[in-house]
Amino acid sequence: MNDLLTDSFVGDAKNRPPNTGDVEMGMRDPKSDSNAGMEAFNKQIQEVEKQVERLLALLKKLKDANEESKSVTKAAAMKAIKKRMEKDIDEVGKIARNVKARLEAINKDNLANRQKPGCEKGTGVDRSRMNITNALTKKFKDLMTEFQTLRQTIQDEYREVVERRVITVTGTRPDEKTIDNLIETGNSEQIFQMAIQQTGRGQVLNTLEEIQERHDTVKEIEKRLLDLHQVHFA
C-alpha cells in the first residue's frame, strides 16, 4: 500500500509543469516574483506622479499670482503677492528635488531588475518599465521648463507694466533707455520729477513705492526661478 502511495506521489510530481512550484512545499513561482516587482515599480511611479501633480498645481498658482500682480497699484499688495510667490517657489524646489531623486532611484531599480529571470533587457517587463519611466521623466522635465517660461513671461510683462505706470503718471511715453534704467534700478523718482512738481509729491508717492516694490519682487522671483532651474539640471 505504501509503495502504491509513493509511486502515485512521484508520478504526480513528474506530471507537474516545470517551475510551477507547490504552495504547501513553500516553493515560489518566478512569474509571481516578476509581477511583484511590477507592483512595487507601479507604486513608485504613482508616488512620483502625485508629486508632479503638486508641481502642476503650484505652477498654476504662480501664474495666477503673476496675473494678479499686473493690476496691483499699491506697494503693500505687491509685497503680499511677493511673499506668496516666494513660498510657492520654495515648495516647488523641495518637491522638484524629491521627484528628481525618486526618478534616479527608479532608473537604478530598472537596471537592477534586468538581473531577474524573465526581466532581461529587451523583455516585455523591461520595455514596460523603461517606457513608463522615460515618459514620466519627460513630463517632469517639460514641467520644469514651464517654470523658466514663466520667468521669461514675468520679465517681459514687468517691462510693459512699468511703462504703463510711467505713462499714467507723467502723461508721456518714456524712451527705451529710461525704461531700461528703471527696470534695472527700480529708482523712479527722477522720472517722475516733473509730475511731483506739478501735482505734489504726496500724489505720486504711492506709484513710486509700488514701482520699487514691483522691482524688488520681480528680481527676487527671477532669482528663485533661476535657482530652481539649477536644481533640476545640476
What DSSP string runs through 131-157?
HHHHHHHHHHHHHHHHHHHHHHHHHHH
Residue position matching grid coordinates 499686473: 70
Distance CA 163, CA 165 (A): 5
Per-residue pLDDT, 21: 38
Cell of 3: 509503495
Least confident of 45-49, 165-169, 202-206, 217-221: 202-206
Per-residue pLDDT, 8: 42
Per-residue pLDDT, 203: 63
Distance CA 92, CA 54 (A): 8
Per-residue pLDDT tens over the stretch 8-31: 434 444 444 444 333 333 333 444
Distance CA 114, CA 188 (A): 63
Distance CA 13, CA 44 (A): 39
Domains of the chain with CATH codes: 41-56+74-233 (1.20.58.70)
Return the closest-CA partner of residue 52 out of 148, 146, 153: 146
Q: Which amino acid is at 158?
A: Y
Per-residue pLDDT tens over the stretch 39-95: 999 999 999 999 999 999 999 999 999 999 999 889 999 999 999 999 999 999 999
Confidence check: pLDDT of 178 > 70: yes
Q: Which amino acid is at 156?
A: D
Beta strand segments in 143-204, E: none
Return the closest-CA partner of residue 66 out of 146, 176, 173, 185: 146
Sorting pLDDT into bands at 50, 70 and 90, what band is 170? confident
Beta strand segments in the chain, E: none
